[in-house]
Amino acid sequence: MPETHRPLYLLAGPTASGKSARALAWAQKTGGAILNADSMQLYADVPLLTARPDAADTAQAPHLLYGHLDGQTLWSTGDWLRAARPHIAEALSGGRPLCIVGGTGLYFNALVHGLAEIPEIDDAVRLKARAAYDDMGEDALRNILRQHDPESAARIMPNDQQRLARAYEVWLQTGRSLTDWQNQTVPELPETTYHLDILHPDRDWLYERCDRRLQIMLDHGALDEVRDLMGKGLTPDWPIMRVLGLTAFVACLAGAMTLEDALSLARQKTRNYAKRQSTWFRNQFKKQDYKLE
């Protein structure tokens, strides 16, 4: 917990690293509010599966930007930043302090390093980029992107259709690479306004936490959440399908996988994601921001 009295406390780290509990303790100590910086906790339908703060937590401190999107809504980093700005402005103008907490690295990158002001993408161009992915496949589209934006082609993780198509559509629309646009950013926040902590716990401890939390989610009714979501017409292209474990548990409820296999797959996916998050934060932010716990 920071000892400096700056209006903003930025708290980041991998999934299951204890961020929410730390943020709540900070809010109780300072009288501050908590603002969500986890792209999956924006969704309303799966509070258990996304480990969203529960009613007991939200009764102890104001929680902002949690659970207000339906599963079909896609939010960009820019959408999140625009929604966060009024709350940030309130804290900076002398209102209650604000803890911005989560594991979505792009949100913190936008705050600390800035967000590129990329022109609006035409619907026709966006559809063309998505169609290119569907028609050619990931490898072929990545090879095309390497010719125009090698940095993005190397940075974007395998199977990340959304970001690969995004980089391609930016080049199609503007004739410039996404990397070029991102290199022209200005930080959203002056360094004197915030304290940044990035949790980097021991990997074995973190993996055990991931496994235990998944079991707790199931014990408390996560499968019922998934079943209700399927009843709303859930399809594989809904943005909410990126929630960790959701694909496996949908397959389980559809009869395509046993619960044991679904849980095993969800555990592995969660561990892999936690590892990628840790690596990403380590590569993007200064070493002195880390809390080795």
Q: DSSP string of 11-67?
A: EE--TTSSHHHHHHHHHHHHT-EEEE--TTTTBSS-TTTTT---HHHHTTS-EES-S
Of residues 191, 190, 199, 189, the one with CA closest to residue 289? 199
171-197 core/surface letters (b: 16 or more CB in 10 A; e: else) = bbbeeebbbbbbeeeeebbeeeebbbb
Distance CA 135, CA 133 (A): 6
Angle subtended at Cα 195 by Cα 193 and Cα 197, rounded to the nearest 5 degrees: 155
Residues 133 and 141: beta-carbon distance below 8 Å: yes
Report whether 16 belongs to an annotated binding site: yes
Which carries the bigger pLDDT value, residue 163 or residue 83? Answer: 83
CB atoms closer than 10 angstroms to residue 85: 11
SS3 171: helix
Distance CA 66, CA 52 (A): 8
Q: Give the pLDDT mean for 142-149.
A: 96
Indicate the DSSP class of residue 73: -
Look at the block and give the residue holding tokens 């503007």.
174
The domain ranges of the chain are: 8-116+186-201+279-291, 123-182, 203-277
For the chain, give the mean pLDDT: 94
Q: What fold characterizes domain 123-182?
A: Histone, subunit A (1.10.20)
Run of H or E including 9 = strand 8-12
Predicted confidence at residue 1, as pLDDT, reads: 62
Q: pLDDT (tens digit, 9 = 90+) per residue, 25-69?
A: 999 999 999 999 999 999 999 999 999 999 999 999 999 999 999
Q: What fold characterizes domain 203-277?
A: Helix Hairpins (1.10.287)
Of residues 103, 63, 96, 100, the one with CA closest to residue 196? 100
Predicted confidence at residue 293, as pLDDT, reads: 47
Report whether 15 belongs to an annotated binding site: yes
Identify the CATH class of 8-116+186-201+279-291. alpha beta
Report whether 18 belongs to an annotated binding site: yes
Percentage with pLDDT > 70 across the chain: 96
Report whether 14 belongs to an annotated binding site: yes
End-to-end CA distance of the chain: 12
Fold match between 8-116+186-201+279-291 and 123-182? no
Q: pLDDT (tens digit, 9 = 90+) per residue, 233-248?
A: 999 999 999 999 999 9
Q: pLDDT (tens digit, 9 = 90+) per residue, 73-117?
A: 989 899 999 999 999 999 999 999 999 999 999 999 999 989 888
Give the CA distances from residue 75 to residues 16, 100, 108, 208, 240, in Å, rounded to whole numbers and listed in that order: 23, 17, 15, 31, 10
pTM for the full model?
0.83
Predicted confidence at residue 14, as pLDDT, reads: 97
Residues 28 and 57: beta-carbon distance below 8 Å: no
Predicted confidence at residue 136, as pLDDT, reads: 94
